[in-house]
A = this chain, B = another copy of it.
Amino acid sequence: MATIEDVAKLAGLSRSTVSRVINNHPYVTEKKKQLVYEAMKELDFFPNSSAQRLRKQKTDTIAVLVPSLTNPFFPFLIEGLENVAVENGLQLLICQTHQNKDKERNYLQLLQTKQVDGVILTSLENDWHSIAPFKESGPIIMCNEYRSEASIPVVRLNQIKGSYLGAKHLIEHGHKKIAYCGNDKGELGADRQKGFRAALVENNIEISEQWIFRDDPSIENGKRILKAILALEDKPTAIFAGSDEVAAGIIKEAKLHGLTIPHDLAVLGFDDLPIAQLVEPSLTTVRQPIKEMGQKTMEVMVSRLASQDQEENTVIELPIELIVRDSV
Contact = CB atoms under 8 A, between A and B. Distances in A.
A115 interface: yes
Assembly stoichiometry (copies): 2
Nearest to A94: B94
A177 interface: no
B219 A49 contact: no
A110 B68 CA distance: 25
Interface string A90-103: 00111010000000
Contacts of A252: 277-278, 280
A54 interface: yes
A15 interface: no
A128 interface: no
A244 to B, nearest CB: 11
A48 B218 CA distance: 39
B113 A48 contact: yes
A75 interface: yes
A117 to B, nearest CB: 12
What band does the interface of chain A fall in when counting residues whose beta carbon is under 8 Å from B?
35 or more
Interface in A205-253: 218-220, 248-249, 252
A319 interface: no
Given A278-B219, A278-B248, A279-B278, A59 B50 contact: yes
Contacts of A76: 70
A79 interface: yes
A48 B249 contact: no
20 contacts: A46-B112, A46-B114, A47-B113, A48-B113, A48-B114, A49-B113, A49-B115, A50-B59, A50-B114, A51-B54, A54-B54, A69-B75, A70-B75, A70-B76, A72-B72, A92-B94, A94-B94, A219-B277, A252-B280, A278-B279
Return the 9 tightest CB-CB contacts between A and B, nearest first.
A69-B75, A50-B53, A46-B112, A50-B54, A49-B113, A70-B75, A49-B115, A94-B94, A46-B113
Given A69-B79, A70-B72, 16 more contacts: A44-B136, A46-B112, A48-B54, A50-B59, A50-B115, A69-B75, A70-B75, A70-B76, A82-B96, A93-B93, A220-B274, A249-B278, A252-B277, A252-B280, A255-B280, A275-B275
